[in-house]
A and B are shown apart, each in its own frame.
Chain A
Amino acid sequence: MTTEKDGQPPLLVQPQDYTFGWTEEDALPLDCGKKLYGVNLRYETIGTLSPAGDNAVLILHALSGDAHVAGRHAPDDRKPGWWDEMVGPGKAIDTNRYFVVCSNVIGGCAGSTGPRSIDPATGKLYNLSFPVITIADMVRAQKRLMEHLGIRKFLAAVGGSMGGMQALEWARLYPDCVQSVIPIATTSRLSPQSIAFDWVGSQAIRHDPAWNNGEYTENPEHGLATARMLAHITYLSDESMNRKFGRELQESDSYSFSFERDFAVESYLEHQGRRFVERFDANSYLYITRATDYFDLANGYDDLAEAFAGTKADFLVVSFSSDWLFPTEQSERIVRALLKNRLNCSFCEIESGYGHDAFLLEVERLGALIRDFLDNQQRKFQ
Chain B
Amino acid sequence: MSRNKRNFSGTLLSRPDLRRIAELIEPGSRVLDLGCGNGEFLHYLAAAKQVKGLGIEINPQKIDQCVHLGIPVIHGDLNEPLDYLEDQSFDCVLLTRTLQELTHPEHLLREVTRVGRRGLVGFINFGHIRNRMQFFFQGRMPRSRTLPHAWYNTPNIHLGTLRDFRELCAELDIEILHAVPTGPARGFFARLLPNFLARAAVFEIRKRPAADADPASEREKPEQKSN
List chain A positions with a Cβ less than 8 A from chain B. 314, 316, 332, 335-336, 339-340, 342, 344-351, 365, 368-369, 372-373, 375-376, 378-380
Contact with A along B1-41 (1 / 0, CB 8 A): 11100000000000000000000000000100000000000
Please measure, in the bound complex, the distance between the C-alpha atom of A380 and the C-alpha atom of B71, giving whole angstroms: 13
Q: Do residues B75 and A340 form an inter-chain contact, with CB atoms below 8 A?
A: no
Residue in A314, A346, A368 whose beta carbon sits within 8 Å of that of B66 in the complex = A346
Interface of B is mostly: mixed
Question: Which B residues from 23 to 82 make CB contacts under 8 A with A?
Answer: 30, 54, 60, 63-64, 66-70, 72-76
By the criterion CB–CB under 8 Å, are B67 and A373 in contact? yes
**5 A-B pairs (CB sep. < 8 Å):** A339-B84, A346-B66, A346-B67, A348-B60, A351-B60
Q: Output the least CB separation between A266 and chain B (Å).
A: 36
Residue of A nearest to B65 (CB): A372
Hey, which chain A residues are within 8 Å of B64, CB to CB? 348, 365, 368-369, 372
Whether A336 and B66, one on each chain, are in contact in the complex, defined by CB atoms closer than 8 angstroms, is no
How many angstroms between the C-alpha atoms of A332 and B85 in the bound complex? 11
Question: What's the Cα separation between A40 and B98 when bound, in Å?
Answer: 56
Closest to B55 in A: A346
Verify if B89 is at the interface (C-beta below 8 Å from A): yes
Q: A342-B89, A348-B63, A351-B60 are in contact. Are A335 and B74 (CB under 8 A)?
A: yes
Contact of A336 among B63, B75, B84 (CB under 8 A): B84
Q: Determine the distance from Cα of A360 to Cα of B184 in the docked complex, in whole angstroms.
A: 50
Instruction: Report the separation of the CA atoms of residues A252 and B29 in the bound assembly, to the nearest whole angstrom.
Output: 68
Q: Which of B2, B67, B89 touches A372 (beta carbons < 8 Å)? A: B67
Nearest first, the 5 closest Cβ-Cβ pairs linking A and B are A376-B70, A372-B68, A336-B84, A348-B75, A344-B72
Report the minimal beta-carbon distance from B66 to chain A, rounded to whole angstroms.
Answer: 7
**Are A339 and B86 within 8 A (Cβ)?**
yes
With A336-B84, A340-B86, A378-B1 as contacts: A346 and B60 at CB distance below 8 Å: no
Which residues of B lie under 8 Å from residue A316 when comparing CB positions? Answer: 67
Neighbouring B residues of A368 by C-beta, 8 Å: 64
What CA separation (Å) do A380 and B60 show in the bound complex?
25
Contact of A332 with B84 in the complex, beta carbons under 8 Å: yes
**A92 → chain B, closest Cβ, in Å?**
12
Chain B interface size, under 10 / 10 to 19 / 20 to 34 / 35 or more: 20 to 34
Contacts of A379 on B, CB cut-off 8 Å? Answer: 1-2, 70
Residue of A nearest to B89 (CB): A342
- A314–B67 CA distance with the chains assembled, in angstroms: 12
Contacts of A373 in B (CB 8 A): 67
Given contacts A346-B67, A378-B1, 6 further A-B contacts (CB under 8 A): A346-B66, A347-B73, A348-B63, A369-B67, A373-B67, A379-B2
Q: B3, B75, B86 — which one has the most chain A CB atoms within 10 A of its CB?
A: B75
A322, B192: Cα distance in complex, Å: 54
Q: What residue of chain B has the Cβ atom nearest to residue A305's Cβ?
A: B86
Q: Which residues of B contact A (CB under 8 A)?
A: 1-3, 30, 54, 60, 63-64, 66-70, 72-76, 84-86, 89
Given contacts A336-B84, A339-B85, A369-B67, contact A345 B72 (CB under 8 A): yes
Closest to A314 in B: B72
Most buried by B among A314, A346, A369: A346
Decide: A347 and B75 in contact? CB cutoff 8 A: yes
Q: What's the nearest-Cβ distance from chain A to residue B80, in Å?
A: 11
Instruction: Give bound CA distance, A335 to B64, whole Å.
Output: 17
Q: Which residues of B contact A375 (CB under 8 A)?
A: 3
How far does the alpha carbon of A62 sit from the alpha carbon of B48 in the complex, in Å? 42
Chain A residues whose C-beta falls within 8 Å of the C-beta of B75 in the assembled complex: 347-349
CA gap between A348 and B89 in the complex, in Å: 21
Q: Closest CB-CB distance, A146 to chain B, in whole Å?
A: 23
Q: Can you name the residue of chain B whose Cβ is closest to the Cβ of A372?
A: B68
CB distance from A318 to the nearest CB of B (A): 9
* Minimum C-beta distance from B81 to chain A (A): 12
Specify which chain A residues have a CB less than 8 angstroms from the CB of B30 in the assembled complex. 342
Give the residues in chain A near B66, CB-CB below 8 Å.
346
Which residues from A are CB-within-8-Å of B1?
378-379
CA distance A365 to B68 in the complex (A): 12
Set of chain A residues within 8 Å of B85, measured between Cβ atoms: 339
Do A365 and B74 form a contact, CB below 8 Å, given A316-B67, A335-B84, A372-B67? no
Residue of A nearest to B84 (CB): A336
Give the nearest-CB partner of B5 in chain A.
A376
Nearest A residue to B74, CB-CB: A347
Instruction: Decide if B74 touches A345 in the complex (CB within 8 Å).
Output: yes
B47 CB to nearest chain A CB (Å): 13
Q: What separation, in Å, do the CA atoms of A375 and B2 have in the docked complex? A: 8
- Nearest neighbor of A368 in chain B, beta-carbon distance: B64
Interchain nearest-CB distance for A222 vs B (Å): 43
Instruction: Give every chain A residue within 8 A of B74 (Cβ-Cβ).
Output: 335, 339, 345-347
Q: Quote the shortest CB–CB distance from B12 to chain A (angstroms).
A: 19
- In Å, the complex CA distance between A379 and B68 comes to 12
| A349–B59 CA distance with the chains assembled, in angstroms | 11
Residues of A within 8 A of B86 (CB): 339-340
Could you tell me the distance between the alpha carbons of A372 and B89 in the complex, rounded to whole angstroms?
27
In the assembled complex, the Cα of A340 lies from the Cα of B115 at a distance in Å of 12
Q: Identify which of A335, A336, A347 gathers the most chain B CB atoms within 10 Å of its CB.
A: A347
A76 to chain B, nearest CB (A): 36
